[in-house]
């Protein structure tokens, strides 16, 4: 699939990094890993970091063969750029009770770690029985405490789009993850 800018006709994706098939297979594995890790007597809550995690969260929830509660949080640190601004703006937080539950924060990508570093203490304050992070992609630029328990793929340090990842709210709909072309070359 070639993606072009309809205004200029130029290609906007340099290359595909993770195909739709690779993503699907890895999410099935993550679903099994999460299912095995959650005690049967605990409610499982997946909290998706909107907007980027939406496709990943939906596919991950379907890959977990047990009851799952789903909620969302909206936090932003990119603000239409290709580099994190370092400022996290909280726009919506989950209203699902988390106390005594096994909570998995579902992220599309961990880049600078700024968003999670700011939000993890807020989740801890809600007293979950266990709090973990599952990220589809991790650039390994940041060390988080606690560390990310489940990672789909280690990601290159290039700017990625597709499968929920965007640039200025575009390209989330791509079924694969690719590198955004940053010049006309």
As annotated, the active-site residues are 111
Cα torsion angle, 3, 60, 36, 112, sign: positive
Contacts of 23 (CB under 8 A, 6+ apart): 59, 136, 152, 163, 175, 176, 177
Which alpha helices (DSSP H) does the chain contain, by range? 20-37, 54-62, 114-124
As given in the structure block, the two tokens for residue 119 are: 């939000």
Round to whole Å and give the CA distance between 91 and 121. 17
Assess contact for 80 and 102: CB atoms under 8 A: no
Assess contact for 46 and 72: CB atoms under 8 A: no
Outline where DSSP puts E strands in 31-126: 44-50, 69-76, 89-92, 102-110
């Amino acid at each position: 699939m070639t993606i072009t800018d309809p205004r200029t006709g130029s290609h906007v994706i340099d290359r595909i990094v993770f195909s739709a098939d690779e993503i699907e297979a890895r999410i099935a594995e993550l679903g099994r890993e999460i299912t095995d890790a959650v005690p049967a007597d605990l409610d499982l809550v997946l909290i998706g970091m909107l907007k980027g995690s939406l496709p990943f969260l939906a596919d991950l929830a379907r890959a977990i063969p047990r009851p799952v509660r789903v909620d969302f949080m909206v936090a932003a640190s990119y603000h239409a750029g290709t580099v994190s601004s370092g400022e996290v703006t909280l726009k919506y937080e989950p209203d699902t009770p988390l106390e005594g539950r096994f909570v998995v924060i579902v992220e599309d990508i961990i880049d600078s770690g700024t968003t999670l570093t700011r939000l993890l203490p807020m989740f801890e304050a809600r007293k979950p029985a266990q709090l973990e992070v599952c990220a589809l992609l991790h650039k390994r630029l940041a060390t988080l405490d606690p560390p990310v328990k489940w990672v789909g793929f280690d990601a290159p340090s290039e700017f990625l789009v597709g499968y929920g990842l965007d640039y200025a709210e575009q390209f989330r709909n791509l079924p694969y993850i690719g590198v955004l072309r940053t010049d006309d070359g």
